């Protein structure tokens, strides 16, 4: 359609504005639905415009890929449980990185094949050919190696989050030298390709980038995976932006830059919430500092106090204020709707109920917010760490559901703890603390939690959903 071709830049501009509005909408739960709609419209404009401005497109291949992708995407979106959402996000990031690599490879092979043909013959057939400039080679160099790193790093993050046996954490003094050697060799091959256009160097750079992505993320501990997922989101955006320059597609440049910058900002916010630098998260793991398994073999057993759901229901129904701290245990038990029902029942009895969210709770950015939104918990009841911490000393009961490091007092009291200095939800300051867990086992980061042994803490063991439902029954008077 000539109309779309003539005004393609205007359509791209409209799409870019909509993508900006998407990010603005996604910055808050109340506007997130509208933000998603803006993004869907922007993507539809981008795809349709690109489809019509492409030179000699292979229609059946493009449409076939779109239909297949839509079928897989819709099926996955409808069936994925919330417990598997973090690894699903990581897997989607890997596909963006792989797309960047494949586009770079296709662009170079296409250019090399055209260079072998007679230029006059190409022009006679309406094909405009210009030898690839240094700028284009640099764009391909950046887009390809960033995409390759993103692909394998995201695949490993997926395996780690999904507890796959092949995604094993590596550690040892050899890790950092190997990482440095692979990176330097990869970069040298990329520079040689950039300067000479040598294809052997290009394939070497791509292969080494794929290896580096795996070796780079493999030492990172499980507790740092939320930051890794956020950073890989940023990388996928920069890879897309780099390829956008190669394809001379302004929309891809804008969209990729927005994803890249927003992911980088989110990674910074999460590192700040952990009192860690991004360098420490990504390279500290090679020294074994991010995934510490506590050895209690030489220590005396620590005593904890346990109780029942009936005890918890009685305490909460007689409280004036309750703060609920959700963690991955709530996602694992799919307990968000049961928690919402418990909160509503307490409110009906005059109890003030609020939810406290730590920036790195769960296994991906915003994991707990998504769960609570799915259960239609009112947005005004959900408070971030900085908003709620000052209220804990005046709180009668704190109910912790599967959270670990984000409420661990060792972060404030124990200088020898790996998480010392990390800002936490100060649940230990409440008058009574109740913790729902399956057992006394350590959490995902492998750290014992001092909160569980606090004199004010009552441990309630069992599946989160079942325990919360029993609490609700107890408050209703049906649990006796």
Mention every residue, 6+ apart, whose C-beta is less than 8 A from residue 463.
Answer: 333, 335, 438
Mention every residue, 6+ apart, whose C-beta is less than 8 A from residue 188.
Answer: none
Mention every residue, 6+ apart, whose C-beta is less than 8 A from residue 56.
Answer: none
**Residues 225, 466: Cα–Cα separation, whole Å:** 28
If you ran DSSP here, which 8-state letter would residue 306 be given? Answer: B
If you ran DSSP here, which 8-state letter would residue 219 be given? Answer: T
| Per-residue tokens: 475 | 């408050």
Q: Are strands 457-461 and 432-437 parallel, antiparallel or unpaired?
A: parallel
Closest CA to 359 of 388, 384, 326, 331: 384
Cα R_g (the chain), whole angstroms:
26
Q: From the candidates 405, 448, 450, 470, which is the catalytic residue? A: 405
Q: Where are the beta strands (DSSP E) in 305-360?
A: 321-326, 352-357
User: Given CA atoms 341, 426, 383, 363 in this order, what sign does their dihedral have?
Assistant: negative
If you ran DSSP here, which 8-state letter would residue 172 be given? Answer: S
* Catalytic-residue membership of 386: no
Strand partners, 357: 384
**Residues 374, 226: Cα–Cα separation, whole Å:** 20
C-alpha to C-alpha distances, 252 to 73, 247, 433, nearest whole angstrom: 20, 9, 49
Query: Sheet of 352-357: strands edge to edge?
Result: 382-384, 352-357, 321-326, 397-401, 432-437, 457-461
C-alpha to C-alpha distances, 216 to 178, 236, 268, nearest whole angstrom: 10, 16, 19
Active-site amino acid positions:
405
């Amino acid at each position: 359609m000539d109309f779309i071709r003539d005004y393609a830049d205007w359509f791209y501009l409209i799409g870019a504005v909509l993508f900006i509005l998407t990010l603005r909408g996604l910055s808050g739960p109340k506007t997130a639905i509208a933000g998603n709609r803006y993004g869907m419209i922007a993507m539809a404009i981008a795809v349709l415009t690109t489809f019509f401005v492409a030179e000699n497109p292979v229609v059946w291949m493009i449409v076939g890929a779109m239909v297949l992708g839509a079928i897989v995407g819709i099926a996955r979106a409808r069936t994925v449980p919330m417990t598997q959402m973090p690894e699903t996000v990581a897997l989607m990031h890997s596909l963006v990185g792989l797309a960047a690599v494949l586009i770079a490879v296709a662009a170079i092979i296409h250019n090399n094949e055209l260079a072998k043909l007679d230029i006059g013959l190409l022009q006679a057939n309406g094909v405009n050919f210009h030898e690839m400039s240094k700028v284009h080679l640099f764009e391909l160099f950046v887009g390809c190696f960033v995409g390759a790193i993103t692909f394998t790093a995201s695949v490993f993050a997926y395996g780690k989050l999904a507890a796959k046996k092949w995604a094993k954490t590596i550690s040892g003094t050899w890790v950092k030298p190997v990482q440095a050697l692979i990176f330097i060799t990869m970069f040298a091959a990329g520079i040689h390709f950039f300067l000479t256009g040598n294809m052997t160097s290009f394939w070497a750079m791509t292969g080494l980038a794929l290896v580096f992505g795996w070796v780079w993320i493999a030492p990172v501990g499980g507790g740092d995976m939320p930051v890794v997922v956020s950073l890989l989101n940023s990388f996928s955006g920069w890879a897309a932006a780099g390829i956008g320059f190669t394809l001379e597609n302004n929309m891809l440049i804008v969209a990729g830059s927005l994803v890249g910058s927003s992911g980088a900002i989110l990674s910074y916010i999460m590192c700040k919430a952990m009192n860690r630098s991004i360098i420490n998260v990504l390279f500290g793991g090679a020294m074994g500092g991010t995934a510490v398994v506590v050895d209690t073999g030489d220590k005396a057993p620590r005593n904890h106090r346990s109780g029942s759901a009936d005890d918890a229901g009685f305490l909460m129904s007689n409280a004036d204020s309750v703060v609920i701290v959700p963690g991955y245990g709530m996602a694992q038990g799919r307990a968000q709707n049961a928690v919402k029902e418990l909160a509503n029942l307490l409110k009906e009895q005059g109890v003030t109920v609020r939810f406290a969210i730590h920036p790195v709770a769960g296994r991906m950015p915003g994991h707990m917010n998504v769960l609570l939104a799915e259960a239609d918990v009112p947005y005004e009841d959900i408070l971030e760490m900085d908003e709620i911490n000052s209220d804990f000393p005046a709180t009668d009961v704190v109910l912790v559901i599967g959270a670990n490091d984000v409420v661990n007092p060792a972060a404030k009291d124990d200088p020898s703890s790996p998480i010392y200095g990390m800002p936490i939800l100060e649940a230990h300051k409440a008058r009574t603390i109740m913790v729902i867990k399956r057992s006394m086992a350590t959490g995902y980061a492998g750290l014992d939690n001092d909160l569980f042994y606090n004199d004010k803490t009552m441990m309630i063991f069992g599946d989160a959903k079942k325990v919360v439902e029993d609490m609700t029954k107890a408050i209703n008077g049906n649990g006796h």
